[in-house]
Amino acid sequence: MPRYALKVEYDGAPFFGWQRQTDLPSVQGAIEAALAKLEPGPHTIAAAGRTDKGVHGLGQVAHCDMSRDWTPFRLSEALNYHVKPAPIAIVDCAPVPDTFHARFSATHRRYLFRILCRRAPATHSRGYVWQVKQPLDVDAMRAGAAHLLGKHDFTTFRSTICQSMTPVKTLDRLDIAQVETDYGTEVHFDVRAQSFLHNQVRSFIGTLERVGTGSLAPDDVKTALDARDRAACGPVSPPHGLYLAQVGYDTPPFG
């Protein structure tokens, strides 16, 4: 049974997350429905990460098993046709060995989070950034983020409904950049780890935003981390500024 890796881009706004939902729209459900139009029978795909409601995908990776051989071009074109009008695109497709698993073969996930700092309401970027009205102190946020790098018990930054077996994770990267645009200042967070806890990135961003406004000091991030208490976390950021940007593998499926 041939297996294919799919690189998937999607607007998370109309979906109740990646994972298939009963009677609710999901990215997984839309792609599986498109696959059923290509080959009869139920289809189940697996993804590198189960993004939450409203979270976007730039480089999500999933895999599917087909009954017959497809050229990658024909499979991606057919899926893009049948998934319409959902805001989903298969931007790459490649045959992979049956030992490849989109989730379990992944060596890292990288997320992008965008904050727009301006008082005027966002128009074109509404739903794709978290808008705050005041400037943020990027240097202070970087100092706070430094406390999160490395291997830690991230209980403070873990959702109460997280199903991970352990709160201990290793954060490889949390870079913060200020980006000047014609429509305002954006702050971008580039976050990378092998795997993440539920709501971990959004919890990081919500706490660091408080540091950026001066409500918290950079060292308060370490205090919150060491507390291992969800109550010590800042407010969780909204989902619509978050993007699953990239998934890494020892052998990249798309060349």
**CB neighbours (10 Å) of residue 119?**
9
Give the DSSP letter of residue 156. Answer: G
CA distance 59 to 49: 10
Among candidate residues 52, 92, 175, 220, the one labeled active-site is 52
What's the chain's Rg over C-alpha atoms? Answer: 19
43: helix, coil or strand? Answer: coil
Catalytic-residue membership of 52? yes
d(CA 201, CA 77): 33
23 Rama sector, left if φ>0, alpha if ψ -120 to 50, beta otherwise: left
User: Do the beta carbons of residue 47 and residue 12 sit within 8 Å?
Assistant: no
**Residues forming the active site:** 52
